Structure 1
Amino acid sequence: MRIIGFNLSKIVAEKKEKSVEKVQINQNINIKDVIKEKIPISQGEALSVKFLFTIDYSEDFAKVEFGGNVLLLPEKDELKTFLKEWKDKKVPEEFRTPLFNFIMSKCNIKALNLEEELSLPHHVPMPRIDAGSQI
């Protein structure tokens, strides 16, 4: 399976007025739909995987959301496996990890920028250098 495309269709970042003493941050990737598509660059069929990536801050303090799709070019047997499992609204295990890692790699960078703009705590820890350590 090759990833041949990525597109965002929704970016939402919202911070509520209330302050929270201790913030818990949860991330979630929800696969909304999988659609088989013909594409002009290949004789095979591609899969368009629609997703929603959400970063939720506890107590309704803030939310960052990305919606979009990832275009996959699977081998013929991979296509059958994926579509068979998707009938039960499941992403096959062998595709889930690389797909989710790709979605996170694209969205996390944008999320960090939005969090900075809204003065939100970062949802992933930033690298730190301790005093006395060599760079």
Structure 2
Amino acid sequence: MKVIGFNFNKVSIEKKTEDFKEIKVNAPSIDIRDIKQVKSPVFSMKEDVFEVKFTYSVKYLPDIAEVSLAGSMLLVVDQKVSKELAKEWKNKKVPAEQRLFILNIIVRKATLKAIELEDELNLPTHIHIPTIKEIKDQE
């Protein structure tokens, strides 16, 4: 399985208050909205191409801010995986191996975009960013 395309079609962030005294940041919510096979003369491969539509959101509580992203990616999959993916998606399910692959791509791309937007609005990031600290010599 390979990613041959990824794009966002919705990028939204709203900060409703500057009061962060009791802020709680929920873990990102990721939803696979749709999976469908794409037929196109552009893709003349032996493998099949699928479009995966998704949403990604982070809520800052109580009603402080929200980051909302939506997008799609194109995946190239072999014939065996193609049949399994199409069959499972009829029940709105994704086989475990493909699900992990898809979610990891979404997390990687969407988390970076969300952090960029959070920084623009001076919101605390929804994940911990590593910091560098001085280490004192232990003599």
- Structure 2 regions of 5+ residues with no counterpart? none
What is the RMSD computed on CA atoms of the aligned residues?
A: 1.7
Residue of structure 2 aligned with 1:100, choices 97, 100, 103 = 103
Query: Aligned residue for 1:13?
Result: 13
Tell me how far apart the structure 2 counterparts of residues 41 and 33 of structure 1 sit (CA, whole Å). 20
CA contact (8 A) 1:20 1:59 kept: no
Q: 1:23 to 1:119 in 2, by over 3 A?
A: same
- TM-score between the two structures when normalised by the length of structure 2: 0.88
Give the letter for the 1:12 counterpart. S
Tell me how far apart the structure 2 counterparts of residues 70 and 87 of structure 1 sit (CA, whole Å). 19
Residue-by-residue CA offset, 1:40-88 (whole Å, 9 max, x unaligned): 1333431100000111112121111111101011111101111111111
Q: Structure 1 stretch 24-33 or stretch 11-20: which is displaced more? A: 11-20
Query: Aligned residue for 1:31?
Result: 32
Compute the displacement of 1:18 (Å).
5.8
Q: State percent identity of aligned pairs.
A: 37
- TM-score between the two structures when normalised by the length of structure 1: 0.90
Give the letter for the 1:21 counterpart. K
CA contact (8 A) 1:6 1:70 kept: yes
- Number of residue-to-residue matches in the alignment: 134
Query: Aligned residue for 1:41?
Result: 43
CA contact (8 A) 2:53 2:70 kept: yes
If you compute each CA radius of gyration, which structure gives the higher value, 1 or 2?
2
Tell me how far apart the structure 1 counterparts of residues 68 and 15 of structure 2 sit (CA, whole Å). 12
Residue of structure 2 aligned with 1:77, choices 55, 77, 80 = 80
CA contact (8 A) 1:16 1:61 kept: yes
